[in-house]
Amino acid sequence: MILATLERCDGHKAKAARLLGVSLKTLYNRLNDYRKD
């Protein structure tokens, strides 16, 4: 869901975080978690 939202926002992380209802810090943390897997 995060990756789809980022794509929809053309990679704009702040806008994606706002649409997802999470903070920008939370978005970065979740993206880092995905990269570790």
Q: E strand or H helix at 15, and its extent?
A: helix 13-20
Query: Tokens 């979740």, residue?
Result: 30
pLDDT reported for residue 21: 97
Q: Give residue-wise pLDDT tens across range 1-37.
A: 999 999 999 999 999 999 999 999 999 999 999 888 7
From 18, 17, 19, 21, select the one nearest 31 (Cα to Cα).
17
Give, to the nearest 10 degrees, the angle between helix 24-36 and helix 13-20.
Answer: 100
Q: pTM for the full model?
A: 0.84
Q: What is the pLDDT of residue 35?
A: 87
Q: What gap in Å lies between CA 22 and CA 37, rounded to an integer?
A: 21
Question: Residue 24's pLDDT is what?
Answer: 97
- pLDDT in the model for residue 19: 97
How many residues comprise the chain? Answer: 37
What pLDDT does residue 11 have?
A: 95
